[in-house]
Structure 1
Amino acid sequence: MPPNRDRFHGTPLPLFRPDGDEAIPDGPALRAGRVPSYLADHRARLRERFMAGGAEAMPDYELLELVLFRAIPRQDAKPLARRLIETFGDFARVLAAPPARLSAVTGAGPAVVTELKIVAAAAQRMARGRVLQRPVLSSWDALLDYCHTALSHAGTEEFRVLFLDRKNVLIADEAQGRGTVDHVPVYPREILRRALELGASALILVHNHPSGDPTPSEADIEMTHRILTGAEVMGIAIHDHLVIGAGREVSFRREGLL
């Protein structure tokens, strides 16, 4: 009987990466840990186009390819980028998708999901930096951009409160509740208690409608009035309630609902 080592001599290379990402095509370059020249050239061209024309010069799937390069460094990222766009609709929705749904897409292993969530967090952090510790009412467009970045592509309703000081500077932005696709529990007493803890003088209420239609519901209006009634007793102003939809928002103040 031949030695045991001969039984494993012909064991094939694994078809999948240990992290669960897409299968790696076999070949001398990949077995040597190198990127094939055709992939290296393609990636170099994409990077050059991005640096020359920016994101506006690229379709969503190509911009997503650039993001995926770090997560899957030795294989073609285009098929996965296209699958992600086809599954979720566009670049922003891919970044906003829950990790469990991303993982369900063939080829999207832990490394891919982590990379996408890092980019999503960076985008939110940049948008938040434009409004944090600044007078909110004088940088309203930046505030709207931040709200859309944080909420417009979420798959469930989320209710956030922006706490402002006496100079209307944003001192905190906190989620007060997360719910289902069409409902989120909100507790006015907890919102006002938190405002007192932070020493806030004014609030801006924000929540999203995953359906994409930001038209306030009767429940939205009733809940806002309950918060307003309690805030008036405590001397806290409610500057606005923003309902974030797909590419647009409704302002309670603008619509005469406050």
Structure 2
Amino acid sequence: MSDGDDHGFFGEGSLRPAPKTSEKSGKADARKHYEGHRERLRQRFDEAGVEALADYELLEMVLFRSVPRADTKGPAKELLNRFGSIGEVLGAPESRLREVPGIGEAAARDLKLVAALTQRMLRSQVRGKQVLSSWSQVLDYCRAAMAYEDREQFRILFLDKKNALIKDECQQTGTVDHTPVYPREIVRRALELSASAVILVHNHPTTPLQSHAGSR
């Protein structure tokens, strides 16, 4: 083989090292990835609606505004893994939400804002309807409002003679395993509201929500 051939075989072209990816370029590629993912989620939501998205994807979209420059898929999945469902994520205290990697103060606040809106919506759906004929709807509201609280609450739903909701109130907030209940206060408030029946609801922070119904 001639010197010319050797130069051609082992020349600079065959030994040129691959270009290194700069840190700045790597960050740009990562940003491009999650921005493209966000746009695809928005497009699916716009074109196919909420049923086209999994629960974690809905949480991702909620987090888009509060986590503008990072991938939100991991935090969204971890929220569901830790708390179990969207309802329990929204019902969790802010302090526990911030324990999830990627969930800071702004993200936790936005999740609690969604929870507040959900509670208002459920409350408006329940109010004025035949509560005892839509028991599951009442429980859904109560779970969203208090099932993941870290202290016991005692809530009362006041009903009229047609079993329609007049008002719901959190009468007492206790400790991690105790909340006081005063029957005279329940009766007094029921008389003030002219309630014909009441639904008493309380939670145990370490066990599922429990409820009891009764009439005055």
* TM-score normalised by the chain length of structure 1: 0.62
1:73 matched to which residue of 2? 68
Q: Distance in 2 between matches of 1:113 and 1:213?
A: 23
1:222 matched to which residue of 2? none
Q: Deviations over 1:166-209 (max 9, x none)?
A: 33221110011122343221111211121122222221111223
**Aligned with 1:119 (options 114, 138, 161):** 114
Alignment map for 1:19-98 (pairs within 5 Å) = 27=24, 36-51=31-46, 52=48, 54-55=50-51, 57-58=53-54, 60-98=55-93
Q: Identify unmatched segments of 5+ residues in structure 2.
A: 1-22
Answer whether contact 1:99 1:113 (CA < 8 A) is retained. Answer: yes
- Residue 133 (str. 1) matches residue 128 (str. 2): yes
Answer whether contact 1:92 1:153 (CA < 8 A) is retained. Answer: no
Q: Deviations over 1:219-254 (max 9, x none)?
A: xxxxxxxxxxxxxxxxxxxxxxxx25xxxxxx567x
SS of residue paired to 1:74:
coil
Q: Distance in 1 between matches of 2:88 and 2:77?
A: 13
1:209 matched to which residue of 2? 204
Alpha-carbon distance change, 193 to 211 in structure 1, aligned in 2, over 3 angstroms: same
Q: Distance in 1 between matches of 2:37 and 2:105?
A: 24
Answer whether contact 2:154 2:181 (CA < 8 A) is retained. Answer: yes
1:99 matched to which residue of 2? 94
Q: CA deviation at 1:42?
A: 0.2
2:175 matched to which residue of 1? 180
Instruction: Give the aligned residue type for 2:207.
Output: G
Q: How many residues align?
A: 191
1:167 matched to which residue of 2? 162
Q: Distance in 2 between matches of 1:213 and 1:141?
A: 15
What do you get for the CA RMSD once the two structures are aligned? 3.1
Answer whether contact 2:153 2:172 (CA < 8 A) is retained. Answer: yes
1:194 matched to which residue of 2? 189
Q: Identify unmatched segments of 5+ residues in structure 1.
A: 1-25, 215-242, 245-250, 254-258
Answer whether contact 2:158 2:168 (CA < 8 A) is retained. Answer: yes
Q: CA deviation at 1:37?
A: 3.2
Instruction: Give the aligned residue type for 1:54.
Output: V
Q: Distance in 1 between matches of 2:195 and 2:138?
A: 18
Answer whether contact 1:131 1:170 (CA < 8 A) is retained. Answer: yes
- Residue 110 (str. 1) matches residue 105 (str. 2): yes
Q: CA deviation at 1:62?
A: 2.4
Answer whether contact 1:157 1:182 (CA < 8 A) is retained. Answer: yes
Alpha-carbon distance change, 141 to 101 in structure 1, aligned in 2, over 3 angstroms: closer
Q: CA deviation at 1:57?
A: 4.2
- Choose between structure 1 and 2: higher helix proportion: 2
Instruction: Give the aligned residue type for 2:196.
Output: S
